[in-house]
Amino acid sequence: MNRRNLLGAVALGGGALAIGGIASRGIVGGEDRPLSLGSSANSLRIPKLYSGEKVDGVRTFDLNLRHGVSRFLDGVDTKTIGINQPYLGPTLEMHAGETVRMNVSSDLSETATVHWHGFHLPAAADGGPHQPIAPSSTWSPSFEVKQRASIFWYHSHAHRRSGPQVYQGLAGAIYVRDAESERLDLPNDYGVDDIPLIVQDRAFNRDGSFAYSTSMPDIMTGMTGETLLVNGTIDPVFEAQTDLLRLRLLNGSNARFYRFGFGDGRSFEQIASDGGLLEQPYRTDKLVLAPGERAQIIIDLSDGSPIALMADSIGGMGMMGMMGTRSDRQRFTVLNISPAAQRRRATPMPSRLITLPRIDPAVAVKTRRFVLNMGMGMRMMRGGGFTINGQSMDMQRIDETVKVGTTEIWQVENASMMAHPFHIHDVQFRIIDRDGQMPGKGEQGLKDTVVVAPREVVRLLLQFTDYPDPQLPYMYHCHILEHEDAGMMGQFLVTS
Ligand SMILES: [Cu+2]
């Protein structure tokens, strides 16, 4: 931890003491002891920023998957999974153009994987179900960071076990930096005015354990819970030291969709989508993120009043709601923001951010259709109902083969009764249209996960620029993790 972040952490701890007398230990991640988190007004945990070590010019990260114990609720412990810590992992910081090596060791009792969500990399380094990490073994992929600056994330993608492993905590954020974004006058001070928010809903049993369920209704709707964790914090408070605050929102939930907005209805600037900055800030007062999606926003606190980032639970359920057994909470407080009396003054926001290349959909050599469906009745009961183009995931079957160096249109159609976030590995794509209409301004940048509503047709433009491999596939799938685990996933090769 550098000095700046240490000061930030101390300031946060002080804020928490002023508000609720909550113990300030465990605010910055990285400790192995159980975290002391009460049930109200806790300081927001900021994951430790971890930049690895340069070894022979390669930025090297040592990541250890482990079982842990965390205290989210008063008086009871929760068994969790974390990376280098009891729950979740550090925020990995890396730079576009450099080579990284990830030494991922596992002390877990079951096979896991770590997928670098949103990264353009060789299939062998992707961390999908074909790169299992057995207990007591180490997986060490190396790849060049070819991403634009944004928030990405790493999480379990184990075959049929992504849902329970991510639920227990096998996830963390990645900050990719690049020269173009660093030149812009945007809040950029990690833990001070640039904050990752990993938003996850969880259900707990009375003994404190996570209530992860594989009942049919929970698989159909995806696993939801009534308690919101933000970076592993319940009811978090953040004391802002600056007028402008940049929040990097990551929907790390297994299944819940959120519409974010502020309690007082104020507008904010959205500056980035999943894979990078938008061309210009987009002023709005609401923002929808499905599981897997990210966005960055900048909020102006110069009026000094405390505000709350809220999230309404939306979508997804559709007609499935009537089949669910648990009540569904509709509105969550994500983060209480308390501006400090002394704050760094706001500077004007840049009106332009970056320029993205224009790609003409007419250059696409092929259009592929992907029809998402959930079979009903007996087929669903037997667990074979989650399909893409009528087929459930089969590790031995290659569904699509793409030629390297080509541009394609992928047309994703939702034939089911609930919305699905469709995620594609290896590429950052652009949304051409939704039912023939231009996507909203917040979706006109780089994306790797896209919501497809019931009966909607979404067309995506993808460029497959490199990394041919005749054998190892990439995945495409629904990012409701219970749907992915139940088979709503397929595999594509990129070949020369
Ligand atoms: Cu789905």
Q: Which of 211, 196, 180 is nearest to 249 (CA)?
A: 196
Mean pLDDT, residues 87-105 taken together? 98
Dihedral-angle region of residue 405 (phi above 0 means left; psi in -120 to 50 means alpha; beta otherwise): left
List every span in the chain annotated with CATH 2.60.40.420: 1-354, 361-495
Q: How far is the CA of 203 from the centre of ligand 1 (A)?
A: 20
Report domain 1-354's class.
mainly beta
Winning range, highest mean pLDDT, from 1-15, 246-260, 305-319: 246-260
The answer to pTM > 0.95 is no
Q: How far is the CA of 421 from the centre of ligand 1 (A)?
A: 6
Report domain 361-495's class.
mainly beta
Q: How far is the CA of 488 from the centre of ligand 1 (A)?
A: 7
In degrees, to the nearest 5, what angle opens at C-alpha 480 toward C-alphas 235 and 431?
A: 105
Segment 120-171, tens digit of pLDDT: 999 999 999 999 999 999 999 999 999 999 999 999 999 999 999 999 999 9
Q: What is Dmax (Cα atoms) for the chain?
A: 62
Determine what percent of the chain is predicted with pLDDT higher than 90.
84
Q: How far is the CA of 316 from the centre of ligand 1 (A)?
A: 8
Distance from CA of residue 455 to its chain's centroid?
25
Q: How far is the CA of 375 from the centre of ligand 1 (A)?
A: 12
Amino acid present at 491: Q
The two tokens of residue 48 are 């430790």
Q: How far is the CA of 352 from the centre of ligand 1 (A)?
A: 35
Averaged pLDDT score across all residues of the chain: 90
- Asked if residues 492 and 476 have their Cβ atoms less than 8 Å apart, the reply is yes
Q: How far is the CA of 381 from the centre of ligand 1 (A)?
A: 16
Segment 436-470, tens digit of pLDDT: 999 999 999 999 999 999 999 999 999 999 999 99
Q: How far is the CA of 412 from the centre of ligand 1 (A)?
A: 12
Any residues with CB less than 8 A from the CB of 72 and at least 6 apart, and which? 35, 37, 78, 202, 204, 208, 227, 229, 232, 234
Q: How far is the CA of 312 from the centre of ligand 1 (A)?
A: 19
Q: How far is the CA of 416 from the centre of ligand 1 (A)?
A: 9
Q: How far is the CA of 479 from the centre of ligand 1 (A)?
A: 6
Q: How far is the CA of 453 from the centre of ligand 1 (A)?
A: 10
Mean pLDDT, residues 188-217 taken together? 96
Q: How far is the CA of 442 from the centre of ligand 1 (A)?
A: 22
Segment 318-377, tens digit of pLDDT: 444 444 444 455 899 999 999 999 999 988 999 999 999 999 999 999 999 999 999 866
What pLDDT score was predicted for residue 326?
45
d(CA 456, CA 417): 11
Mean pLDDT, residues 483-487 taken together? 96
Three-state SS at 235: coil
Kindly indicate the confidence band of residue 404, based on its pLDDT and cuts at 50, 70 and 90. very high
Q: How far is the CA of 372 from the centre of ligand 1 (A)?
A: 8
Q: How far is the CA of 427 from the centre of ligand 1 (A)?
A: 20
Q: How far is the CA of 428 from the centre of ligand 1 (A)?
A: 20
Q: How far is the CA of 489 from the centre of ligand 1 (A)?
A: 9
Kindly indicate the confidence band of residue 314, based on its pLDDT and cuts at 50, 70 and 90. confident
Q: Please tell me the chain's helix, strand, coil percentages from 3-state DSSP, rounded to the nearest 5.
A: 10, 45, 45
What pLDDT score was predicted for residue 493?
98
